Structure 1
Amino acid sequence: MTYLIDAWLERPHPYLRILHRETGKVCAELEGDALEELRELGELDLPSLSSAEPPVLKEMVRDLFLFCYARALRPSAEATHA
């Protein structure tokens, strides 16, 4: 599978999406708190996002997918207070 990174980080409501290249389907999306967490962790590497080198982009997409899945597996705040 081939993916595209669609990121608009310098706007009032920044976002980053991973799209399936052939279908345009959104496979992962990060906004708000998730983007802030990535920045705090040092995992949001702006030069890598604008790289034309396939290995660099492949690593970035892999790391973004892993981050999204890890966030999805965290217990929600509501569940921990129940």
Structure 2
Amino acid sequence: MTYLIDAWLDRPHPYLRILHRETGEVCAILEEEALDELRDQGDLDLAGLTSSEPLILKELVRSLFLFCYARALRPHNEIQLH
């Protein structure tokens, strides 16, 4: 499977979505609170988001999925996984 990252980080209510490349299906959504947590942890790599290197993007998507699943396991999660 291949994925696309749709990130809107420079808006009042930023979000980042991971989309299935072939179907356009939304696989995960990170909204403002989750993005703030990633930034606070130093795990949001803005340079990686603008990279065209497949290995960098693959690692970024993997890290974002892991973060999403870890947050989904917490009580009162606010992240959506599809």
Flag whether TM exceeds 0.5 (same fold): yes
With normalisation by structure 1, the TM-score equals 0.91
* Structure showing greater relative contact order (alpha-carbon pairs closer than 8 Å, 6 or more residues apart): 2
Question: What residue ranges of structure 1 are gaps of 5+ in the alignment?
Answer: 78-82
Larger radius of gyration: 1
Mapped partners of 1:44, 1:75: distance in 2: 23
Quick check: 1:51 aligned with 2:54? no
CA distance in 2, matches of 1:34, 1:8: 13
Q: Shift of residue 76 of structure 1?
A: 2.6
Matches within 5 A, 1:1-82: 1-76=1-76
Deviation at 1:74, TM superposition (A): 0.9
Q: Where in structure 2 are there 5+ consecutive unaligned residues?
A: 78-82
Q: Name the CA distance, whole Å, in 2 between partners of 1:11 and 1:32.
A: 10
Percent identity, aligned pairs only, is 75
| Alignment RMSD (CA, Å) | 1.1
The superposition leaves residues 5-61 of structure 1 with CA deviations (integer Å, 9 ceiling, x where unpaired) of 000100111000000000000000000210100000001010000000000000000
**Which amino acid in 1 is paired with 2:37?**
E
Aligned pairs, how many?
A: 77
Structure 1 stretches of 4+ with a deviation exceeding 3 A read none
